[in-house]
Structure 1
Amino acid sequence: MTPSDEQAHGVSQNRALLPLMVVATLALGWILVPFYGAIMWGAIIALLFMPVHRRLLARYKWQRTPTALLTMALILVVLILPFALLMAALAQEVSHFYTLVQSGEVNPTRYFRDVFNALPDWVGALLDRFGLVNFSALQRRVSAALAQGSQFLATQALGIGQLTVEFITSLFISLYLAFFLLRDGESLARTLRNAVPLAPEHKRELISKFTTVIRATVKGNLLVAVIQGALGGLAFWVLGVGGALLWAVLMAFLSLLPAIGAGLVWLPVALYFFVTGGIWQGIALCAWGVLVIGLVDNLLRPILVGKDTRMPDYVVMITTLGGMVVFGINGFVIGPAIAAMFMAVWHIYATTRADTGA
Structure 2
Amino acid sequence: MSNQTSAALMRRITLALLLGGLLLLGYAVLHLFLVPLAWAGILAYVTWPLHARLRRALGNRPTLAALAMTLLLTAACVLPLLWLLALLRGEMAAAYAAVTAWLAQGPHTLPDFVLRLPWFGEWLQQLLDQMSSNPAATRAQVGDWLERRIGEILDLLGGVGRNAAKFGLALLAVFFLYRDGQSLLDQVRHVLHRFLGARVDGYLAAAGATTRAVVYGLVLTALAQGTLAGLGYWVAGVEAPILLGALTALIALIPFGTPFVWGSIGLWLLLNGQVAAGVGLLAWGTLVISWVDNLIRPLVISSATQIPFLLVMFGVLGGLAAFGLVGLFLGPVILAILMAVWREWLEETQATGGAG
Structure-2-length-normalised TM-score:
0.73
Q: For residue 210 of structure 1, what is the amino acid of its counterpart?
A: A
Structure 1 residues 318 and 90, CA gap change in structure 2 (3 angstroms): same
Aligned to 2:325: 329
Q: What percent identity do the matched residue pairs reach?
A: 22
* Whole-angstrom distance in 1 between the partners of 2:28 and 2:125: 48
Write the mapping of 1:99-248 to structure 2, written as runs, cut at 5 A.
99-100=93-94, 104-107=97-100, 116-123=110-117, 126-127=119-120, 133-135=126-128, 136=130, 143-151=143-151, 153=153, 166=165, 169-195=168-194, 197-200=195-198, 202-226=199-223, 228-229=225-226, 232=229, 236=233, 239-240=238-239, 244=244, 248=248
Gap regions ≥5 residues in structure 1:
none
**Deviation, structure 1 residue 217:** 0.9
Change in Cα spacing, 1:288 to 1:132, as seen in structure 2 (3 Å) is closer
Q: Distance in 2 between matches of 1:224 and 1:178?
A: 28
SS at match of 1:123: coil
**Matched letter for residue 88 of structure 2:** V
1:353 aligns with 2:352: no
Residue of structure 2 in register with 1:83 after alignment: 77
Tell me: CA distance 1:51–1:41, structure 2 relative to 1, closer, same or farther (3 Å).
Answer: same
Q: Which amino acid aligns with 1:36?
A: L
1:307 matched to 2:306? The reply is no
Is the partner of 1:350 in helix, strand or coil?
A: helix
Contact 1:216 1:305 in 2 (8 A): yes
Amino acid at match of 2:205: S
TM-score (norm 1): 0.72
Unaligned runs of 5+ in 2: 132-136
Q: Which deviates more from structure 2 when the two are superposed, residues 17-26 or residues 331-340?
A: 17-26
Identify which range, 10-19 or 47-56, moves more after superposition: 47-56
Kindly indicate whether the alpha-carbon contact (under 8 Å) linking 1:93 and 1:245 is maintained by their aligned counterparts in 2. no
Partner of 1:239, secondary structure, is coil
Note the C-alpha offset of 1:323. Answer: 1.3
Amino acid at match of 1:191: H
> Any conservation in 1 of the 2:266–2:277 contact (CA below 8 Å)?
no
Distance 2:344 2:247 in 1: 45
1:95–1:154 CA contact under 8 A, matched in 2: no
SS at match of 1:240: coil
Q: Is the 8 A contact 1:319 1:335 kept in 2?
A: yes
Matched, 1:73 2:72: no
The answer to whether the Cα contact below 8 Å between 1:68 and 1:182 also exists between their aligned partners in 2 is no
How far apart, CA to CA, are the structure 2 residues paired with 1:155 and 1:334? Answer: 19
Q: Aligned residue for 1:24?
A: 22
Q: Deviations over 1:249-291 (max 9, x none)?
A: 674145x45xxx7467536744764783353576588779978
Residues matched between the structures, number: 339
Distance in 2 of aligned mates of 1:269 and 1:29: 46
- 1:14 deviation in Å? 0.6
CA contact (8 A) 1:41 1:174 kept: no
Matches of 2:80 and 2:35, distance apart in 1: 20
Q: Render the CA deviation track for 1:27-74: whole Å, top value 9, x for unaligned.
A: 2123222222210121112222334455677x67965xx146425524
